[in-house]
Chains A and B, each alone.
Chain A
Amino acid sequence: MKETEIVLEMKNVCKRFPGVQALDNVSFSCMRGEVHAIVGENGAGKSTLMKILSGAYIPDSGNILIEGNEVRIENPHQGQELGINIIYQEFNLIPYTDVAENIFIGRKPLNNLGLVDYKQMYRKAQQLMEQIGVNIDVKKWICELTVAEQQIVEIIKAVSFAAKIVIMDEPTSALSEEETQRLFQIIRKLQTQDITIIFISHRIKEIFEIADRVTVIKDGKTVVSKDINNLDETGLVRLMVGRELSKLYPEKNGKKGELLLSVRNLTRSGVFKDISFDIHRGEIIGLAGLVGAGRTEVARAIFGADQIDEGTIKFDESIIKIKNPKDAVTHGIGLIPEDRRQHGLVLCLSIRNNIVLSILNRIKRFLFTNRIKEKEICSDLIRQLEIKTHSSEVEVELLSGGNQQKVVLSKWLAVNPQLIIFDEPTRGIDVGAKAEIHRFMRELANKGAGILMISSELPEILGMSDRIVVMCEGEVIGIYEGESLTEETIMQAATGICI
């Protein structure tokens, strides 16, 4: 066992923003070479804490000590010099430049003439790659890499800055199971180099897999800092949420209503082939599969966002042609997209504007929008979905991930949909909001809607779905229900038959 030593200590850190005490005497410490998870609901104060560490915010009071010395971090540059590197969810990479140049951004190795020494740069980049144990071509452009590979470049960049502490903000939210395991391998390697990792995540299972210690933050206060060995999953969730989530998922519906949607032999060349399944009213159908199986593509095709080459779609017993999202909306089909920030919301507009986006036609008065009706519909939905905001005029950009997702949902509820497609509905959302969204999905189904849910989180898809359609490499492998809804069966289907 290495001798442990405290490398970072935050003592009684406070930060107040107008109207809210974001951090209230928060204290925690990290040992050298440990993986320290920070968990807490959205709005609990995690990101404020991290921004203080990285130099984006300055605390009102409190001390930060690095290796026993008190420091002041007033800008990101200073944070870097102290050995603190933060990897955000949206990476800081230059797309049309190669990996090596990105690693050495702003600080290229120079030769005797004062010019950039490309040979040395590529050599050093290659060395760093080997240090981490990964093999990515350092001459590839960033836009040629997958999301997981880009993340690795970010990590290497951080390490090359002689980082002592690497903060990762929700690092696994865009990764597949395989890629997550590779990330964990890299993290363990970093640990052997005495680098401390601060891991912010909502994924309880992963935290138990990779973290050594965990700090729970709730309402701006430290709840507890503990060794992961002294906790179990339910205990951790309880600490985060402050209440016991008695049932992790809402109760499933035994009854199947009438046939709502029936797709037969849907094909789009090169993307998916012969997709057939049914959705009944009152059902939640899970669409499972590995990243790249084609699930989002099928969903988008049903919604009219992408075209179909062959196949039929039957809605309420009659064959329909959906050529664009407008057709879909007219039939009562809604889509909650994977990337809510890019495809689900207009970030600079208010909550109200976003919610009424799809129904402007219905509530207008001659040529003008009916402001009163808008506000009515809006406050109704805000209440129903428990969106945490003091006003409907707030820009959605400022909301937390969970609340943003609720706004997207409200938008579609306003349309009164018969069939709603959810693509990764709770990605990047904290446990509390997650449960609320799940509850809401089940309520919608109980009221007679049909739901198609795409999720990469096995527990979620098993917990929510009445039946599960498993896809692999663009084809349907099987449809499972009842007894065969187990992790092993689904996982096997998703991977076993594909080589």
Chain B
Amino acid sequence: MESTFKEIFQKKNATRFLNRHSEIVVFFFLILMVFVAAKSTPLFLKPANLTNVMRQAASLGIVAIGQTIVILLAGTDLSVSAVATVSNVIAAVLMMGKDENILPAILVALLAGIIVGFLNGFFITKFSLPDFVVTLAIYSVVNGLMFVFTTGREVGSVSGKFMAFGSKDIFSIPITMYIWMGLTIFAVIFLQYTKFGRMIYEVGGNPESARLSGINTSLVRVVSYIICGVMAAISGLVLLSRLGVGYPLSGKELQLDSIIAVVIGGTSLNGGRGNLLGTVAGVLILSSLNNIFNLIGISTFMQIVIKGLIIIIVVVLRAMNEKNQ
């Protein structure tokens, strides 16, 4: 009798565990995909290629950290690519190839991220505007300004030391990958173990209840958008270390890709559910996908189509899963 009770108890706990940790499923898909990729072309598993994938993943992944936090609040940040670009361009222009300028360049780039993030959060909370609209508007303004400033061309340049960051590897893994992982670890601790991090889940899960329980929901939202802005700025710097110059189109795909990665990773667009581990898997899946497409030779346009189909499938599967719960 006792043993059957234990059985039932464990089974119930197992289903609960799976339900709450849907990122396990995503990692499973990642492995599946790597397997399929390796089968379809021998080029995929070549170390040089994998390193390349990781580099791509790092810049996307860092943005995705911030995007995850914003989506946990049932919001979206469509301005991330503009922020990455701004950070990229400003840092390049301030550095002008000199090592001594590295620190100020980085600081100003981060400041840009903070300012844009604050503007996003401010307009959204103060005037109760939809996230979508505000971040899109800010994206247009900031991006536009960048184009005006750079007249569409490459500007500035990086110093040798900075470039090293982008191109060097430690144990065959790019430094930028370590930066991404490091930031992810910090973010995981932040979301899971700090009071503020838990408030993000609470405000995302039921904003009205959170408010009535005494939480300053506006503050939580503004800070989250600032974090997202800073992440995007860091990503811009990572891009800079690879490109070597400030380029106004550098962050172009980051906004949609970051949202896709977060959604694939299991975070709900309605807020309150999901975590960064899923996002990590999502980022890796997306980066690998981009890479495979290029290796196999699928045109950019077809890539967009396939990505769109993937989003639909993932979102529908998730909706069906959530319905069953």
Contact = CB atoms under 8 A, between A and B. Distances in A.
A94 B209 contact: yes
A92 B214 CA distance: 11
A348 B178 CA distance: 52
Given A92-B208, A96-B272, A143-B325, A108 B195 contact: yes
A105 interface: yes
B214 A94 contact: no
A106 B202 contact: yes
B212 interface: yes
A463 interface: no
A268 to B, nearest CB: 18
B193 to A, nearest CB: 4
B142 to A, nearest CB: 33
A94 B272 contact: yes
Given A97-B205, A115-B189, A105 B213 contact: yes
Interface string A79-97: 0100000000001111111
A116 B208 contact: no
Contacts of A141: 20
Interface string B185-196: 000010011110
Contacts of B205: 94-97
B275 to A, nearest CB: 11
Given A92-B208, A97-B205, A106 B213 contact: yes
Interface string B201-228: 1100110111011110000000000000
Contact of A110 (B195, B199, B209, B325): B195
Given A92-B209, A115-B193, A116-B194, A97 B214 contact: no
A contact patch SS: loop
A101 interface: yes
Which interface class (under 10, 10 to 19, 20 to 34, 35 or more) fits A? Answer: 20 to 34
B195 A116 contact: yes
B198 interface: yes
A46 B192 CA distance: 41
B213 A92 contact: yes
Most buried by B among A80, A97, A105: A105
Most buried by A among B189, B201, B202, B215: B202
Contact of A97 (B193, B212, B272, B325): B272
A76 interface: yes
Contacts of B199: 106
A97 B215 CA distance: 16
B273 interface: yes
A106 B210 contact: yes
A92 B215 CA distance: 12
Contact of A94 (B194, B197, B210, B325): B210
B contact patch SS: helix
A368 B273 CA distance: 44
A85 to B, nearest CB: 11
Contact of B212 (A92, A101, A115): A92
A77 interface: yes
B272 A80 contact: no
A92 B201 CA distance: 14
A101 B198 contact: yes
Given A106-B199, A115-B193, A143-B325, A94 B206 contact: yes
A91 B205 CA distance: 13
A92 B205 CA distance: 11
A143 B198 CA distance: 18
A495 to B, nearest CB: 26
Nearest to A76: B212
Nearest to A75: B214
Contacts of B189: 115
A76 B214 CA distance: 8
A80 B214 contact: yes
A21 to B, nearest CB: 27
Contacts of B210: 94, 105-106
A260 to B, nearest CB: 36
Contacts of A114: 194
Nearest to A114: B194
Contacts of A80: 214
Interface string A100-112: 0100011110100
B62 to A, nearest CB: 23
Contact of A116 (B20, B193, B213, B215): B193
Contacts of B197: 116
A106 B206 CA distance: 13
A105 B215 contact: yes
Contact of A77 (B201, B209, B214): B214
A163 to B, nearest CB: 14
Nearest to A98: B20
Nearest to A94: B205
A26 to B, nearest CB: 24
A91 B273 CA distance: 19
Contact of A115 (B194, B201, B208): B194
A108 B199 CA distance: 10
A143 B197 CA distance: 21
A93 B272 CA distance: 12
Given A76-B214, A80-B214, A110-B195, A95 B202 contact: no
B198 A108 contact: yes
Contacts of B213: 92, 105-106
Nearest to A80: B214
Nearest to B19: A141
B1 to A, nearest CB: 19
**CB-CB nearest 7 A-B residue pairs:** A94-B205, A92-B209, A115-B193, A106-B215, A96-B273, A105-B213, A96-B272
10 contacts: A76-B214, A91-B209, A94-B209, A94-B272, A97-B272, A101-B201, A105-B213, A105-B215, A106-B214, A116-B193
Given A92-B209, A93-B206, 9 more contacts: A94-B272, A95-B205, A105-B215, A106-B195, A106-B213, A106-B215, A114-B194, A116-B193, A116-B198
